[in-house]
Amino acid sequence: MTLSYRQPGVVLTDRRFTVPLDHDRPEGETIELYAREVVATDKAHQDLPWLLYLQGGPGFGADRSVGRPGWLGRALKEYRVLLLDQRGTGHSTPANRQTLPLRGGPAEQADYLTHFRADAIVRDCEAIRAEVTGGAPWTVLGQSFGGFCLTTYLSLAPEGLATAVITGGLPSLDAHADDVYRAAFPRVERKVTAHYARYPQDAERARRIADHLLNHDVVLPGGYRLTVEAFQSLGIVLGTGDGTHRLHYLLEDAFVRTPQGATLSDAFLEQAQGMLSYARHPLYALIHESIYGQDGRPTAWSAERVRAEFPQFDAAKALAGDEPLLFTGESIHPWTFDCDPALRPLRETADLLATRTDWTPLYDPARLAANEVPVVAAVYHDDMYVDTAHSLRTARTIRGLRTWITDEFEHDGIRTGGPRVLDRLLALVRDEA
C-alpha cells in the first residue's frame, strides 16, 4: 500500500519495491528498496515526466528535505521526482553492525556487501523503472557518487535514460584506488592551506588540539575514540561550500578552563561526535574503497597506504617542527573502524573486502564512446572529492557529453547553488545555453 501526505508546496508518496539481492540470480534472496515520490501540489494530478535522483555517498540515503528547497524546487517545475534510498541506505533494507550479523560471520558479511556497488544500484533502477514510469525512460540526476552510478547507467542500460545530469561525479573509468588517493592528497593540502589563509588563527588552534590528543586518551560522548588521525579527518568538510566556516567555528570552541587545567570542551566533543560518527551511514565506510575496484587488484586499504607517501600529513612530525597541521579529506582507514563504535564489530568484514580481487568493471568505455543519451556534467574546479583531471578525461570519452566547468561552487553546488545549478545544466543539455 502506498501512502501519500503533504508538506508545504508538495505531495509526497512513499514507494517500496522488492528487488533481487543479486540480479544475476533473480530467483534468489530479495531486499527492499524505499523511495519517496515528490510532486508539486499544483501538478499532483498531471502526467509529468520522471526525474530520478541518485544521492552521493556511497552509503547515504536520499535527502530528507522539507517542501521544495533548492534544486528540488527547480526540478518540480516540470518533473515528478523520485528520491531513492539506494540499497542498504536510509529506509531500504539496512546494512549495519546490527543487521549484518544476520548474514553470518565476517566472510558472509563481506560476500553480501559485494552486491552494494554502482552496478547493482543501476540494475535496481532498471528493475523499478517499469513500475514507476510505465516503461518510459527517465531523466536521472546523479550527485557525486550518484554521478558515478549514472556513468555506470550509461554503460549498462542507456535505454533507460531520457537525459543524464551529473553534478560533481564524473569518475575515472580506469583509475585504481591508489591513483585516486595520490591525486587527492595534494588537493586536500590546497584546501587546508586556503582554510588557514582565511582563518589564520586556526593554525595554532589545530596544533594545540592535536598536541592534546597525542598526549591524552579522549573518548567522545558516544564512545568514539578521538585520536589525532580522527581529528585530522574532520577536514572532510573543507570540500563543501560552507565547510571552512564550519571547521573554524568548531575549532574556536575547543578548549575550556577547569580546576584541573585546560581541556577539550563538552561543546567541542559533542560537535566532533556528530561530524565523525558513521552510525547513520556505516555502508559509506564499509564499501568506500570498493567503488574504485575494477581490475583484479585489491584495494588493500589504499588511502592508508598512499597517505604514507605524503609525510606532511603526519601530525607528530608537523608538531615537532613549524609546519601547519594538515587535515585530511574523504578517505577511510583501518583506524576508522577501531575508533567508531558503530564500525568496530565490522572491522574484520572491512579487512576482507579490502583483500578481494574479484571486483568487476563498472564502466564500458566502448559503449560510452557510442553514447546517444543527452548528457551534461558540472565539473567543479579543484573539487576536493573528485579529481578534476580525472573527470575531464572521462568527459572526453563520453560521446556528446557537455561540461560546465565552474569555480563558483564547491562539490555540493547542487545543494548550495539553489535552483541555479540544475537550471544551468538543463539548459545546456537541451542546447538552450
Q: Catalytic site residue 331? A: no
Q: Provide the grid cell at 292.
A: 574504485
Q: Catalytic site residue 381? A: no
- Compute the distance between CA of residue 397 and CA of residue 392 in angstroms, rounded to an integer: 9
- Compute the distance between CA of residue 112 and CA of residue 199 in angstroms, rounded to an integer: 45
3 state SS of 240: coil
Find all residues with CB under 8 Å of 229, minimum gap 6, and list them.
315, 328, 333, 335
Q: Provide the grid cell at 143.
A: 550527485
Sign of CA dihedral 402, 405, 410, 414: negative
Q: Of 24, 322, 358, 431, which one is the catalytic site residue? A: 358
Q: Of 124, 383, 411, 412, which one is the catalytic site residue? A: 411
Taking CA atoms, 65 is separated from 12, 19, 49, 126, 360, in Å, by 11, 26, 21, 25, 35
Find all residues with CB under 8 Å of 168, minimum gap 6, and list them.
56, 143, 144, 147, 378, 379, 380, 383, 385, 386, 411, 412, 413, 414
Q: Catalytic site residue 423? A: no
Q: Of 92, 144, 233, 391, which one is the catalytic site residue? A: 144
Contact 154, 367 (CB under 8 A): yes
Hey, how many other C-beta atoms are within 10 angstroms of the C-beta on 307?
20
Catalytic residue positions? 144, 358, 411
